[in-house]
């Protein structure tokens, strides 16, 4: 009997937790896994929720167990998605909905959306953020689909999503790739946020000479102020944890080589394609790449000598500056992320609701923070060119760019790298400079290529008096 409201394929960590979340919220869900022995184990471990889980040994049984039109969630990403879709096409009927809940490239999502059109099946590209815990107890969910497909799954997704003061952190953001695009930019911001936190940690560790256990309470205290966010909260916890094997701070035992699965890189590629400066996000992605060049870095340290760090003063003012610097840097990075979303919305015809995006990031996702509420308010007040120009953030940046400047300058003087923070500062400075220096670039372009330039005092295209050697 087709008793389940929804189906799910892939009982890995994310899939299992999403399925349990759906069952926990009163919905009957049919599940299938490639290694079928996992299905029985999963249901056996589900305790009282087992009654709402329908284990299916085959995809045909899965399809038969779900009430049409059948929504089926898949969790993998990459090539496996196309293979899974090909198999599902054989067992599903027109009107059924395949949901890709993995971190997919939105360009693949648009392609898959198009490929399924003639089959009568429909596709949802669903960005899900919040890791294992979020999947189980409430993620932030970013949906891209037709409006009809969204309506079919709206109640289940609303029930399982994180709630911010009672408001569900899920929304239909537009057609085809809109949900996966927004998730990609979420991850770009996540990279910048994490990198800036790591840079501040580096200053505390190497500039102020603080051990991890003394840095943890600094982040804990900051988490009670304007920086209040999930990433600051977990940073304090991570720094306070000891390695059970050695008894040393866990963070001191971890190799300084960061992994990445690609979403940060995609966000930078798309920003470039759209012609949007997202320099802090770019710097964060590049910093991860540089971190992975461990052997080269060690060789370079031998050639150039170990960094002779000039110590920072340990004063209340320095701690206050570090807090404000991080705040200013983060605002610039978020401004870049939202600017990419705004440009993509126009380019792909999504009409992305930016206030809603900020709202559904207030809980459940990795970048959830207190100031996303203020960002939601900023975008709700009507269109703004840049987040830094919203009145609330104008005030914050007026107070915080000085500290950011002092920290970046001092870190540079001390020999401590701050790629994302300094990119954020340069972005801010370039953005608020009414007359920049690209007049010279225009002159050079005209000199060597006769590209022409605009004058400040007359309309039209002009050429310079360059004389011999010029184009
Ligand atoms: C989330 C995260 C998640 C991502 C991990 C790892 O929002 O829950 O963004 O989707 O997969 O953070 O990403 P990297 O391996 O690229 O750091």
- Whether 190 is a known active-site residue: answer yes
- Whether 90 is a known active-site residue: answer no
Ligand 1 contacts CB of residue 139 (under 6 A): no
Which H or E run includes 183?
A: helix 178-202
d(CA 232, CA 326) in angstroms, rounded, equals: 11
How many angstroms is it from 72 CA to the middle of ligand 1? 22
| Ligand 1 nearest atom to the CA of residue 139, by list position | 8
Q: Find the catalytic residue in 83, 163, 190, 301.
A: 190
3-class DSSP assignment, residue 205:
helix
Is the CA virtual torsion 79, 82, 85, 90 positive or negative? negative
289 Cβ contact partners less than 8 Å away, ≥ 6 residues apart: 260
Tokens encoding 371: 């100031």
* Closest CA to ligand 1's atom 17: 260
Tokens encoding 74: 């898949």
Ligand 1 contacts CB of residue 260 (under 6 A): yes
Cβ atoms of residues 272 and 343 within 8 Å: no
pLDDT of residue 155: 97
pLDDT of residue 222: 98
370 Cβ contact partners less than 8 Å away, ≥ 6 residues apart: 226, 228, 229
Q: Find the catalytic residue in 183, 330, 342, 359.
A: 183
Domain residue limits, the chain = 6-176, 184-431
382 phi, psi to nearest 5 deg: 115, 170
At the topology level of CATH, where does 184-431 sit?
1.10.1040
Residue linked to tokens 């994490």: 194
* Closest CA to ligand 1's atom 7: 129
Ligand 1 contacts CB of residue 365 (under 6 A): yes
Ligand 1 pocket mutation pick from 75, 103, 259, 269 by most atoms within 8 angstroms of CB: 103
- Nearest alpha carbon to residue 402 among 310, 323, 309: 323
* Closest CA to ligand 1's atom 2: 129
The pLDDT tens digits along the chain (471 residues) read 678 999 999 999 999 999 999 999 999 999 999 999 999 999 999 999 999 999 999 999 999 999 999 999 998 767 789 999 999 999 999 999 999 999 999 999 999 999 998 899 999 999 999 999 999 999 999 999 999 999 999 999 999 999 999 999 999 999 999 999 999 999 999 999 999 999 999 999 999 999 999 999 999 999 999 999 999 999 999 999 999 999 999 999 999 999 999 999 999 999 999 999 999 999 999 999 999 999 999 999 999 998 889 999 889 999 999 999 999 999 999 999 999 999 999 999 999 999 999 999 999 999 999 999 999 999 998 889 999 999 999 999 999 999 999 999 999 999 999 999 999 999 999 999 999 999 999 999 999 999 999 999 999 999 999 988 888
Number of neighbours of residue 107 by Cβ within 10 angstroms: 15
Helix orientation angle between 178-202 and 316-348, rounded to the nearest 10 degrees: 160
Residue 433 vs residues 275, 397, 427, 442: alpha-carbon distances, Å: 19, 15, 10, 17
Considering the domain 6-176 in this protein, what is its CATH number?
3.40.50.720
How many angstroms is it from 177 CA to the middle of ligand 1? 18
pLDDT of residue 382: 87
pLDDT of residue 307: 86
Query: At CB < 8 A and 24+ separation, what contacts does 244-253 make?
Result: 249/211, 249/212, 249/213, 251/212, 252/212
pLDDT of residue 423: 98
d(CA 304, CA 307) in angstroms, rounded, equals: 8
pLDDT of residue 471: 82
Pairing mode, strands 167-168 and 163-164: antiparallel
How many angstroms is it from 351 CA to the middle of ligand 1? 25
| HEC string for 238-283 | HHHCECCCCCCEHHHHCCCCCCCCCHHHHHHHHHHHHCCCCHHHHH
Residue linked to tokens 């911010």: 164
* Closest CA to ligand 1's atom 15: 260
Residue linked to tokens 């939601």: 376
pLDDT of residue 470: 86
Cβ atoms of residues 101 and 126 within 8 Å: yes
How many angstroms is it from 392 CA to the middle of ligand 1? 29
Residue linked to tokens 């049919």: 30
């Amino acid at each position: 009997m087709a008793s389940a409201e929804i189906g799910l394929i892939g009982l890995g960590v994310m899939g299992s937790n999403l399925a349990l979340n759906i069952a926990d919220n009163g919905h009957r869900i049919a599940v299938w896994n490639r290694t079928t022995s996992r299905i029985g184990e999963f249901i056996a471990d589900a305790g009282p929720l087992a009654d709402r889980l329908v284990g299916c040994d085959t995809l045909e049984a899965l399809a038969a167990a779900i009430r049409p039109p059948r929504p089926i969630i898949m969790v993998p990403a990459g090539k496996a998605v196309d293979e899974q879709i090909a198999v599902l096409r054989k067992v599903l009927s027109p009107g059924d909905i395949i949901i890709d809940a993995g971190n997919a490239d939105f360009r693949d999502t648009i392609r898959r959306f198009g490929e399924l059109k003639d089959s009568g099946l429909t596709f949802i590209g669903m960005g899900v953020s919040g890791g294992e815990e979020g999947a189980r107890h409430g993620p932030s969910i970013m949906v891209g689909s037709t409006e009809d497909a969204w309506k079919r799954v709206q109640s289940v997704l609303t029930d399982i999503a994180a709630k911010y003061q009672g408001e569900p952190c899920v929304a239909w953001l537009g057609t085809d790739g809109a949900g996966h695009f927004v998730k990609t930019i979420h991850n770009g911001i996540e990279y910048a946020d994490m990198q800036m936190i790591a840079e501040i940690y580096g200053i505390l560790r190497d500039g102020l000479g603080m051990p991890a256990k003394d840095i943890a309470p600094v982040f804990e205290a900051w988490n009670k102020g304007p920086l209040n966010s999930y990433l600051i909260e977990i940073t304090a916890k991570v720094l306070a944890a000891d390695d059970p094997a050695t008894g040393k701070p866990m963070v001191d035992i971890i190799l300084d080589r960061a992994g990445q699965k690609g979403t940060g890189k995609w966000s930078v590629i798309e920003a470039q394609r759209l012609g949007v400066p997202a320099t802090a996000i770019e710097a964060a992605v590049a910093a991860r790449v540089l971190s992975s060049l461990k052997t080269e870095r060690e060789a370079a340290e031998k050639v150039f000598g170990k960094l002779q760090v000039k110590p920072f003063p340990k004063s209340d003012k320095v701690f206050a500056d570090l807090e404000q610097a991080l705040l200013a840097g983060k605002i610039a990075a978020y401004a870049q992320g939202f600017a990419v979303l705004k440009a993509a919305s126009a380019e792909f015809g999504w009409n992305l609701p930016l206030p809603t995006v900020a709202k559904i990031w207030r809980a459940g996702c990795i970048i959830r923070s207190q100031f996303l509420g203020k960002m939601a308010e900023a975008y709700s007040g009507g269109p703004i060119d840049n987040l830094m120009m919203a009145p609330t953030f104008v005030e914050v940046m007026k107070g915080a760019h000085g500290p950011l400047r002092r920290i970046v300058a001092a870190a540079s003087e001390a020999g401590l790298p701050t790629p994302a923070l300094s990119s954020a500062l340069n972005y801010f400075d370039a953005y608020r400079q009414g007359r920049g220096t690209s007049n010279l670039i225009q002159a050079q372009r005209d000199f060597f290529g006769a590209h022409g330039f605009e004058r400040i005092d007359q309309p039209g295209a002009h050429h310079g008096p360059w004389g011999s050697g010029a184009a």
